[in-house]
Amino acid sequence: MGTKVLQPRAVELAGLPDHVTVYEVGPRDGLQNEPAVVPLEIKLELIARLVAAGLKSVEVTSLVRPDAVPQLADAEALLARLPVTPGVRHPVLVPNQRGLDRALANGVHEIAVFASATESFAQRNLKRSRADSLHVMGEVAQRAREHGMAVRGYVSMCFGDPWEGQVDQGEVVGVATELLAMGCGEVSLGDTIGVATPGAVRSLITRLVDAGAAPGTLAVHFHDTYGQALANTVEALRCGVTTVDASAGGLGGCPFAKSATGNLATEDLVFMLDGLGVATGVNLVEVARTSLWLARRLGRPSPSRTVQALARGLEHD
């Protein structure tokens, strides 16, 4: 018999929102960094389990060139078999007009586009200048909206860049506000290499709000390289942000930035928010059980501290 699964005591703190949307990126951002291709059946079951656990926003794949990210080369096959669940969003990452063509052909309703705050990462990841990439994203966003699609924007390297070092927050503000101006309903601020600390988070969000960005149009996407992701999340919530990106089991990184380690784990985030009395609608035990199931199929333990702590008390599938 396993040990009892201990749920956190809910004690509210002033200045936090009543509800937070957990934007799950594991099936896309998590699996794209795997050294081996994960079978389609496993991907479909992972998405189904995450939805069953209460996650309403699950980014499922990326329509990039198969040779660029071979782990997601089965995108069309996945979309063809993906069930429609009322009230659940399944965004797809789209890099260019060709990717948008594929999204339209596969009945996608919501896309995400991505830009870099730095020139170096734009050249390495997007293979074009930052200005050119923003121009492409603007054309993609406009056409997507003409077809009734919702559009989300990502900004990479918001706090630090492995080639340029510290990033000028004014540059981040410029890119993020341009994404909002081109029609992105939400812009996610990415700490791609995990170097942000709470003061930097507050400073950046304050500058964005001063530049006209409403906190409700911003999301945060933290990596836990230096163990700061949860502290940074709390500070973002205190600044009025109510959408937090996370990856089940802490999977992921960035295949184009080798210093990037795992994303903020969904379980670590939900455990903390449950303990703060902040509603997410996500069942912590079921997400942890899903990550244990996936870890066994990937052949290694989950890096999530919460998954590790709950493992003994959960039934193994």
- Partnered with residue 23 across adjacent β-strands are 57, 245
Given the residues 158, 184, 239, 254, select the one marked as catalytic: 254
- Partnered with residue 140 across adjacent β-strands are none
Q: Give residue for tokens 């900004």.
A: 155
Q: Give residue for tokens 């670590």.
A: 268
Count of other CB atoms within 10 angstroms of residue 133: 24
In this structure, the strands spanning 160-161 and 165-166 are antiparallel
What are 100's two structure tokens? 């948008």
Runs of H (alpha helix) within 6-52: 40-52
Cβ-contact 49, 286 below 8 angstroms: yes
* Nearest-angstrom CA–CA distance, 235 and 240: 9
* DSSP-based three-state secondary structure for 257: coil
In this structure, the strands spanning 243-246 and 160-161 are unpaired
184 is catalytic: no
In this structure, the strands spanning 110-116 and 92-93 are parallel
Known catalytic residues are: 254
